[in-house]
Amino acid sequence: MPAPLTFGSQAVETTSAPQAVTLTNSGNATLTITSITITGTNSGDFTQTNACGSSLKPNASCTIDVTFTPTATGTRSAQVSISDNASGSPQNVSLTGTGASTPLVDFASGQKYLGNFPGQLYTDPSTNVDSNTVPAQHDTAGKNIALQVVPLDASGIPSSAGKIGVVGIGMSNWTDELCLALRTQGPCAPGTFLAQAAANSQVNQTTLVLVDCAQSGHIAADWIDNSDSSYSTCITERLPLWNITRDQVEVVLWKDANPDPSVSMTSSTTCAYQPLPIPSSNPDVCSYEEYLGVMARFLKTPFPNVKQLFVHSRVYAGYATVPLNPEPFAYEYGFATKWFVNAQIAQIATMKIDPVAGDLDFTTGMAPWIAWGPYWWAAGTTPCNNCQTPGQIWVQSDYQSDGTHPSGAGATKVGNNLMDYFLKSPYSPWFRAP
């Protein structure tokens, strides 16, 4: 019998190149073929075509071409089943492949996650077309607001001798990637974003002050207000380490998650507003979007001069050995983040408030202007073509032993992405050296 076919990793809802099964009649009599079908656990993920007909003469061969179109993530298996008049019928050829999620930035036109959710980062409200390009109206506003990010004195008054405070808030992964110092009681670790920025002559070393206020164990819900002292710790302990005040913070960099999620997306997932505290039965992606909205509206309380909020979703979590935040949840944060960002864009364009994300009007000061920072999720060793770093992959050595927190190598990859984004973005002239 032919050898098993292994298709490797294939993006969900996309079709692989065909692989061939060669059927040979090695007997002395004509082989009568009753049927050639795909059977087994995930038979719907594999398709076969053939020109074998209903019979095969002695010593003749025919080819069965098989393609793999995974409908879900993870290992998928089936078999080509050949029913005929030979002994041992049916003859089965095993088929295996791995369904991999497509990075949001790599979605093709018309492609949808779970058959219902389009990817790419932004949705243009005037055309309802998804792309990785910031819609024109939001782009113009973002560039104008970026020019308003200027040095402020300790009281928040514009001053050429002042500072531009840029603060990262979120979870342990984020502090590992931003600096790591507050977890190791030392200087920012080499390769982290703050360490790279401090050593780069292209970065504004005169008035820019980057601060790591991300804190281990502080989940998304801990940043919707100050009840867990997340912001107090930032203001009273972290900002003084970098010699700035809350009134000098003008930009926030966000990355976080919900712990131990249990309800992933389905093809019928529809988010609806949930009164706080959000029940654990709510789809995690919906809870996260709502937390983002509440957090964005609260930012003006601890940081009265905040003008911009850059949001980042998770890196790949397929190596996780703990339930803290595994796949597919890490991947699905990309959709929550997309919906949150586009809720603001749509609100400004249509004057309609998204019921889950809530009021995000930056023109009234309800929330800062919001945009994606760099996107970096890739399906393990399958390259992400349109990530901030083209060809981005994640290998096991990019993680600590829990497969969740970044190793030094993983933190450096994130730092590289952040450096590339802020050195190039039209929304961060304040990051670059004058």
Q: Number of structural domains, the chain?
A: 2
Which amino acid is residue 8, in one-letter code? G
Report how far residue 217's alpha carbon sits from residue 205's, in angstroms, rounded to the nearest whole number.
Answer: 31
Q: Are residues 73 and 111 in the same domain?
A: no
Question: Which domain covers residue 68, as residue numbers?
Answer: 5-100
Q: What is the pLDDT along the chain (434 residues), one digit of tens a residue?
A: 678 999 987 888 889 999 999 999 999 999 999 999 999 999 999 999 999 999 999 999 999 999 999 988 888 999 999 999 999 999 999 999 988 899 999 999 998 998 899 999 999 999 999 999 999 999 999 999 999 999 999 999 999 999 999 999 999 999 999 998 765 567 899 999 999 999 999 999 999 999 999 999 999 999 999 999 999 999 999 999 999 999 999 999 999 999 999 999 999 999 999 999 999 999 999 999 999 999 999 999 999 999 999 999 999 998 999 999 999 999 999 999 999 999 999 999 999 999 999 999 999 999 999 999 999 999 988 899 999 999 999 999 999 999 999 999 999 999 999 999 999 999 999 999 99
pLDDT at 378: 95
CATH label of the domain that carries residue 347? 3.40.50.1110
Q: Are residues 296 and 184 in the same domain?
A: yes
Report how far residue 319's alpha carbon sits from residue 303's, in angstroms, rounded to the nearest whole number.
Answer: 36
Q: Are residues 62 and 166 in the same domain?
A: no
Q: Are residues 43 and 127 in the same domain?
A: no
Q: Are residues 135 and 78 in the same domain?
A: no
pLDDT at 98: 85
Report how far residue 45's alpha carbon sits from residue 337's, in angstroms, rounded to the nearest whole number.
Answer: 29
Q: Are residues 303 and 361 in the same domain?
A: yes
pLDDT at 172: 95
Q: Are residues 313 and 403 in the same domain?
A: yes
Nearest to 19 by CA among 70, 75, 63: 63
Q: Are residues 148 and 269 in the same domain?
A: yes
Last residue of one domain, picked from the residues 76, 100, 124: 100
Last residue of one domain, picked from the residues 53, 82, 100: 100
CATH label of the domain that carries residue 87? 2.60.40.10
- HSE at residue 104, side-chain half, CA atoms within 13 A, is 32
Last residue of one domain, picked from the residues 47, 70, 100: 100
